[in-house]
Structure 1
């Protein structure tokens, strides 16, 4: 039974350790590349020797040892989810009394069913923990998204605000700079989302802070200690301690995570919230063609019956702005190729959202596998947007490595963004010189990381 569970967990990409008292069996597991250690659950000091994970399986053939170990774990770790093996109905009842969340009868075990039950219990536990943290908000909650929030961030923030309202928690959605993309503006206007700028807000008015679709010090302007962090981007830096943290890089959108919470909490979902979440998922996965996970598809299937289709149609049919068109023209005109890498400096811009639209468009050009578009916002910084269809490249990691000592960056395998403060160019007053130095800095650093300095 234990081996079957190991194989199923590995097949789903889960991290786990195995403890077995049989040294020969442990060696076999190690030969199969499992992280296995020798240990005996009947020894009372075992609990002190291991770092207790959030979910454990107690599936030894010694049923009495399973009962005793389950009791000891439950007393010392009340929040751990315990799956325990029983021999019959009587030992099943005993395990439940001792604190097992789910009891596995040997004759009933099917590994993939067990895995599904694990995820269901974990999802339910996460949702209930989030609700507990929200209920502990004594005054007001600040929901913080990244500086230029996209539909995924806005929909997720709206969902958290809605969940909070259900337990009488008042909240505001805060962002840093601006919303330039025409579809994003339509999204905000049509859904009537009330937003506040961080720079115009006294953050001391709030006693809890939630970072949604972002993490502290990653493309957001809030310098506060988080209580809640929910995100789907890969994170390489350490995350500060918080009351609730859920970062699931296997999801293609944060909206899918928030949809899962709504499902697990069994709350009614208004058409506006459902429409926002579905659009957030579709937007971040490019209509389920980029970084799409089963969680995104499951969330979308749940949301579809609840959405306002006319509202979705209005959002997606928004017109392109003149400013976006001008940036796109500059990106095409100023493009430079290094092998299959396209880089384009569009000079001074007013809205960084236009860069991602230009990068998306340029990636469609023949012979281009990676597009990087960057520009300068006066008195703010250099903004960079990158897209790639090269599966060997993690664009988020590339930008982090390229600009780690001069700015900040983040993203996924196929898309990423970076920002460099203008402070490093304080002595440069001439705009043409600044544009030239910007190009030198961005191009050299990016090409050095991807190993394309000498390509023509």
Structure 2
């Protein structure tokens, strides 16, 4: 039995909700959009929903050009009987707001968390993009995606694997080739040519002004109220410096500190580092090469500065310990 058929078996209602992580990116929305199309082929209606906002320019373009219709959860009234499928996220993560409704299923490519409560889950951390998993559902069930869905999924894979160069698996490459044949390449080109707004450049300027390098770790605070997308983009940008192989970038937003961490050092697991660094402060996690975290409820400048300083110290301390342990092992 295919994964899609297993999922269909646990759905009992004629309408379900597909929930992404907060502040959804292209891969999350593409995954939700593809799943919505698949469910419609099985006569199940669905609504894509999210918390926070869609705050990256090319993500907004993607929603408009590909006719995706996500709803902010503030626009939705949930009941206890509603059924929810989580995509590109997992229950209990700090970047997934919990609402009424039964979380019956989860489709994700992040490290597996607690799966209790799901009636179905397909969580594969070895996959580079969640869009790849949905692409496989189309292929294994011999269902052809629409041009818009194929374009969205292809774009999700491109973005989450950095054009098939990071965290990429054989499955990602296979699905990229499969979706490429059905995608609208003109729309794809439009999406790739519009990723920044003029206002975003201020954050890059702050990053260059505030960048500090400790060993091979680059750390920068990039001002306040930066979007999650820009925080991540700047973290990637700073990683291109020859002097660093780990970056920590953060901004104060929505009542707390949002962190993005990137690692090109094979021994440094970004997800584990940020999770440990935020112990008793907030929560974080992600992949070995890219992860994020958040500390909520910081209301004064003193609280913000103290928390930022503590996280910086912890990250550097953890990284130094990992490198020292590896060095000692090599000496044995």
How many residues were matched structurally?
321
Deviations 1:223-281 (A, max 9, x none): 4541110001112x422221111101111111111011111111121110001111101
Change in CA separation of 1:452 and 1:296 when aligned onto 2, cut-off 3 Å: same
Deviations 1:330-382 (A, max 9, x none): 1111111111001111231242221011111111112111111001114x321
TM-score using structure 2 length: 0.91
How far off its partner does 1:206 sit? 6.1
How far off its partner does 1:169 sit? 1.3
2:236 matched to 1:342? Answer: no
Task: Please point out which of 11, 14, 27 is paired with 1:152.
Answer: 27
Partner of 1:317: 193
> In structure 1, how many angstroms separate the alpha carbons of the residues matched to 2:194 and 2:151?
16
> In structure 2, how many angstroms separate the alpha carbons of the residues matched to 1:239 and 1:199?
26
Change in CA separation of 1:319 and 1:399 when aligned onto 2, cut-off 3 Å: closer
CA RMSD between the two structures: 1.9
Task: Please point out which of 281, 284, 299 is paired with 2:157.
Answer: 281
SS of aligned partner of 1:227:
strand
Change in CA separation of 1:350 and 1:367 when aligned onto 2, cut-off 3 Å: closer
SS of aligned partner of 1:337:
strand
Partner of 2:17: 142
* Partners of 1:149 and 1:175 within 8 A in 2: yes
Unaligned runs of 5+ in 2: 325-332
TM-score using structure 1 length: 0.67
Partner of 2:329: none
Deviations 1:270-300 (A, max 9, x none): 1100011111011100000001001101111
Partner of 1:86: none
> In structure 2, how many angstroms separate the alpha carbons of the residues matched to 1:245 and 1:319?
33
Task: Please point out which of 266, 279, 291 is paired with 1:391.
Answer: 266
Runs of 4+ in 1 over 6 A off after TM superposition: none
How far off its partner does 1:434 sit? 4.5
> In structure 2, how many angstroms separate the alpha carbons of the residues matched to 1:435 and 1:272?
43
Partner of 1:445: 314
How far off its partner does 1:139 sit? 3.8
Structure 1 or 2, whichever has the larger Rg, is 1
How far off its partner does 1:322 sit? 2.5
Partner of 1:130: 7
> In structure 2, how many angstroms separate the alpha carbons of the residues matched to 1:207 and 1:139?
10
Q: 1:22-421 counterparts in 2 under 5 A?
A: 124-133=1-10, 136-204=11-79, 207-218=82-93, 219-223=95-99, 224-235=101-112, 237-378=113-254, 380-421=255-296
Deviations 1:149-172 (A, max 9, x none): 111111110011111111221111
> In structure 2, how many angstroms separate the alpha carbons of the residues matched to 1:170 and 1:229?
17
How far off its partner does 1:441 sit? 2.6
Deviations 1:13-65 (A, max 9, x none): xxxxxxxxxxxxxxxxxxxxxxxxxxxxxxxxxxxxxxxxxxxxxxxxxxxxx
Higher relative contact order (CA 8 A, sep 6+): 2
> In structure 1, how many angstroms separate the alpha carbons of the residues matched to 2:281 and 2:115?
20
> In structure 1, how many angstroms separate the alpha carbons of the residues matched to 2:7 and 2:102?
17
* Partners of 1:396 and 1:417 within 8 A in 2: yes
> In structure 2, how many angstroms separate the alpha carbons of the residues matched to 1:203 and 1:258?
25
> In structure 1, how many angstroms separate the alpha carbons of the residues matched to 2:246 and 2:64?
33
* Partners of 1:213 and 1:230 within 8 A in 2: yes
